[in-house]
Structure formats: C-alpha cells, structure tokens
Amino acid sequence: MSATDTLTTVSDLHAPGEVTAADQRAFVLRLAVIAVLAATGVWLTRRPGIVPVASGVLLLAVVYCHAVELQHQCLHRVAFRRTWMHRVVGVPLGLPLLVAYSHYRARHLQHHRYLGTDKDAEFFGFDATQPLTWSRFAKALFDYRRQADVLVSVARSVRGSWRYTQGTMSERSRRTIVVDYRVIAAFLGVMLALTALGAGHEVLVLWLLPFVVAVPIHFLIELPEHILCDSTTTEVLRNTRSITGSWFSTWLTNGNNLHIEHHLSMTVPLTRLRPRHRLVQRKAEVVDRSYFTFYRDLFRSMSTTRDVQCSTTT
C-alpha cells in the first residue's frame, strides 16, 4: 500500500511531520542547484551579445525568486534538523530580493494563524478589498512599493528605532529583525561601494536588473495561492488553492504550489507534500492542474467582469 493510499480522511491532511536526514540532504541539494544556476547566470552575463546577457539576467531573476521559496521553507524550520541553521541559511537566501528573514517569518506565521480573518497580514500581501481589473493587475505586477518599505525599515533598523506594527512582539524578536535589516543595509552598502569603485556594470547585470525582473515573476508565483478562493472562511479547503503543477513549477515554488497541503500541515517539509495531493484533489474546492490553466481562467474572468476580488496572500 502506498503512502497516498493511506490518506483517506481530512484529518490525515493535518498529520504532522519532522525533518529527517533525507529531507536535509534534499534541501542541501537544492541549495547546490541554485548555486550552479547562479554561476551559469553570471557566466552568461559575461558573454558577448545582448541575447546571452539577457538570458543570464533572466536566469538570475528566476534563481532569486526560487531562493525566496527556499527561504520560505527555512522560516517554517522544516529544512534542517538543527533549528539554528534555518536563520543562518535563510537570511542570505533573501538578500537578492531584499527579504528580511525574521520579519518575513513573523508576518508569515501570523498569516498562517489568522488566514480567513481580518487579522491576516502577509509579508507579500495584496489588497483584498479591491476588484482585480486589468489595470490593477498590471499595477500589482510591477509594484515596487515593498522595496521602498524595505528601505524605510533598513533606515530605522540602522538607527535602532524599528518597531513591529502588526501586533505584539518580544524585544528579543524585535532585535533579531533589526539585525536582519542591518544585514540588508550592509548588502546595499556593498553594492554602492562596488559601483563607486567602478564595478557598476557588474552590479547592474548581476543584481539590479535581475532584481527588477524578479519582482513581477515573484508576484506571478504568489498570486494564485488564495485569489478567487472563499476569503470569508477560515476553512483551508475553501480559502486556499493548490496547483498540481509540472516538475518545473514544483521546483520553482519549492513545492509551495501544493498550498492547501502546506497550510493544513506546515510542519511537513514541502518536498513531502505530494502524497497528500490526491486526497486534496477530492476534498478541496479549488485545485488547478497547472499555472497555465489558473492564469487562463483568471484572465478570462478579468476580461468578462470588473468584480474579480483580489484576495491574495502567501
């Protein structure tokens, strides 16, 4: 009997998990893969001609998005067997897209706790009160306001005045977030120093341009998770979407395409959610075959009505 066959009731979907040695090896392998891909992207940007340079920039943008998905696994502490390793690895994974690991973790766990309520406040949230029209979609696709908010948080952290505004937080947790933002400050300082020393082209093609390209890619990755689901309920089988996906989309999202499964048991490493998917397909309200079918249906809805509610949080 397979693992899939043993899952027969909704309660099975809540079964917890723990990080095994095999899970840790699988995560380390994923880190090695993005290191190779990043090196390939760097190599392409150094080749003559606009096509290889553009390909390298795009590859680096994809790598930076995937790194945030790996960071997501770290913040749930389901990547390594030793807890302290998650922050050590998670902080640098977020640097290219200026994602502060500890702040992301605080907001994201709050999202898991309060999904379907007015207390839900996700780190990469979108306005759930406005209709998703073509113009709003385009505006959200290229919304760089979060980066402006990051710069404000960085400045306040450097001064020591940063405060958490989405609820209560211990002073120890606040200091941890401040440290993470100071790491981002150091990263930005290095980028500026390299530019001043004459390496502006390298900073442009290896970080800034991939960063600009990665923002809309990351939006497209995050958008399907809750949009057009029932945002009035706390029942995960109704307020969240899973996408069966291809091997590529499963890799790119680090298994987070199985978002219902993840919300029902966030202590299970994301790479071990697949056996639960068949049961989710039978029990959940919103399961799509692929990201293509999701966006095809979304665009059709946007073309026929101006009342498509945007209810998207990671």
Residue 176 lies in a domain: yes
Tally of domains in the chain? 1
User: Looking at residue 250, what is its pLDDT?
Assistant: 96
- Looking at residue 242, its amino acid is S
**Would 58 be classed as within a structural domain?**
yes
Q: What letter would DSSP give residue 81?
A: S
Q: Angle of helix 145-159 relative to helix 171-194, nearest 10 degrees?
A: 110
List the pLDDT tens digit at each of the 314 positions of the chain: 344 445 677 777 888 888 999 999 999 999 999 999 999 999 999 999 999 999 999 999 999 999 999 999 999 999 999 999 999 999 999 999 999 999 999 999 999 998 888 888 766 666 544 567 888 888 889 988 888 999 999 999 999 999 998 888 999 999 999 999 999 999 999 999 999 999 999 999 999 999 999 999 999 999 999 988 888 899 999 999 999 999 999 999 999 999 999 999 999 999 999 999 999 999 999 999 999 999 999 998 886 655 444 444 44
What's residue 140's pLDDT?
87
Q: Report helix angle 50-75 to 101-114, nearest 10.
A: 60
Give the contacts of 40 (CB within 8 A, at least 6 positions apart).
56, 59
For residue 11, being part of any structural domain is answered with no
Q: Give the residue from 187, 165, 201 showing the smallest Cα distance to 98.
A: 187
Please report whether residue 262 resides in a domain. yes
Does residue 309 form part of some domain? no
Nearest to 271 by CA among 103, 33, 58: 33
Judge whether 122 and 225 are in contact, CB under 8 Å: no
- pLDDT score at 3: 46
Q: Using a cut of 0.95, tell me whether the model's pTM lies above it.
A: no
Domain contains 310: no
Measured CA to CA, the distance from residue 277 to residue 283 in angstroms comes to 10
What is the reported pLDDT for 4?
A: 43
d(CA 138, CA 47): 32
Q: Given this model, what pLDDT does residue 126 score?
A: 62
- Residue of 259, 219, 256, 223 whose CA lies nearest to 240: 259
Question: In the 3-class helix/strand/coil scheme, how is 121-164 assigned residue by residue?
Answer: CCCCCCCCCCECCHHHHHHHHCCCHHHHHHHHHHHHHHHCCCCC
Classify residue 102 as exposed, middle or buried by CB count within 10 Å of its CB (0-12, 13-18, 19+).
buried
User: In terms of C-beta density within 10 A (0-12 exposed, 13-18 middle, 19 or more buried), how is residue 97 classed?
Assistant: buried
Work out the number of other CB atoms within 10 angstroms of the CB of residue 193. Answer: 11
Range of the domain at 155: 18-304
pLDDT score for 301: 84
Helix (H, G, I), strand (E, B) or coil at 226: coil
- Segment (H or E) for 107: helix 101-114
Q: Is residue 313 part of a domain?
A: no
Residue at token pair 């020393």: 197
- Strand boundaries in 209-263, DSSP class E: 242-243
8: in domain: no
Distances 48 to 8, 54, 164, 197, 201 between C-alpha atoms, Å? 56, 11, 47, 23, 14
